[in-house]
Amino acid sequence: MNVYSDIQSLRAQISAWRQQGLKIAFVPTMGNLHSGHISLVEEAHKHADKIVASIFVNPMQFGANEDIDSYPRTMDADQQKLIAAGTDALFTPTPDLIYPKGLDKQTYVDVPNVSDGYCGESRPGHFRGVATIVCKLFNIVQPDVACFGLKDYQQVQVIQSMVEDLSMPIDIIPVETMREASGLAMSSRNNYLTAEQLAIAPNLNKAMRWLAEQLKTATDYVSLIEQAKEKINAAGMKTDYIHVSHARTLNPAQPQDKHLVILAAAHCGKARLIDNIQLNLD
C-alpha cells in the first residue's frame, strides 16, 4: 500500500491506473479503524480493481462544543489494518492541505432537507462539514464507486443527495452496520465508554428493536417513540432523539409509509451513540 500526503502524487497514481483501464473505489474515513471500516474496504473490492482509502479528521464537521483534539488517532495500527484488507493507496492529508485558506474562507457544500433534523439539529453545521469534505475528496480521487457505512444513515442520505444533485459520476454503495456481539453498533466513539457503560450501551439498539417490532402492527408513532425513549433513559443513557422516518426522504413517517427507518442518538457517558434500523412493511 502506497501512502500519499499530497494531492499531486495521489492523482498521478490514480491517472496511471486509469490509463490501464482499472476501476477505482474510495473509502473515506477519519481513522481509528475497526471492523466496520474494514468491511467497507472488503465491499469495495467487489466493485473495483483498486481501492483508495483516506484518513482525515475533518475539523469542519466538529461543533464548537466538540473536542476534535480528543478524537482518537491510531495511524500506525490503521495502516496495518488497511494493508491486511488489501488497500492499494492511502491518502493522509493535513487540515492545511485541505483548507489552505482556513475554515472561515473555505467554499462549502450545503445539502438541504436531508441535512435537517436528527444529527443535523443536534450538531449544527455537521453535515455542511461532511458534504464539503466528501465533495472535495471526491474531486481529488475521482472514484467510480465509494463505500459508506449505514451506521451513519443520515450521512449516507446526505452524500447520496449531493451526488445526485451535483451530477457526480460516482456510485454510492451503502454497507450494512457492523455490530458487537451485544448488538452495539461499532464506532470509534465506543472507545470513550467505560466497562460499565459498555454494558449499558447495547440498550439503545434493544429499545430500537422493540420499537421496530411494535411498528409492524401499530402506527401510534408518538406514543411508541415516547415508550422507547423511556427504555433508553431507564437503562442509564440520555436520549438525544429517536424518530420514525421515511427511509429515503427522512421526513416524519406517515401511516401509509411502508419503507421506514428508526433513527436514534443517545449520550452514554462521554460518548454520543447513534444507530438506526430500517423497516420494510410491504
| Residues 6 or more apart in contact with residue 69 via CB below 8 angstroms | none
- CA distance linking residue 79 with residue 88, whole number of Å: 11
- CA distance linking residue 74 with residue 80, whole number of Å: 10
- Give the three-class secondary structure for 199: helix
- CA distance linking residue 230 with residue 226, whole number of Å: 6
Phi, psi of 24 (to 5 degrees): -110, 130
If you ran DSSP here, which 8-state letter would residue 72 be given?
A: -
**39: Cα within 13 Å, side-chain hemisphere:** 16
Alpha-helical regions (H) of 202-281: 203-215, 221-234
The three grid cell numbers given for residue 202, joined into one nine-digit string = 447495547
SS3 content of the chain, % helix, strand, coil (to 5): 40, 20, 35
Work out the angle between the directed axes of helices 7-19 and 126-141 (0-180°, nearest 10): 50
The three grid cell numbers given for residue 112, joined into one nine-digit string = 438541504
Q: Among this protein's residues, is 37 annotated catalytic?
A: yes
Catalytic residue chosen out of the listed positions 37, 45, 243, 267: 37
Q: Which of 141, 159, 140 is CA-nearest to residue 150?
A: 159
Phi-psi region of 118 (alpha: psi -120 to 50; beta: other; left: phi over 0): left
| Residues 6 or more apart in contact with residue 20 via CB below 8 angstroms | none
If you ran DSSP here, which 8-state letter would residue 87 be given?
A: -
Q: Which residues have a catalytic role annotated? A: 37
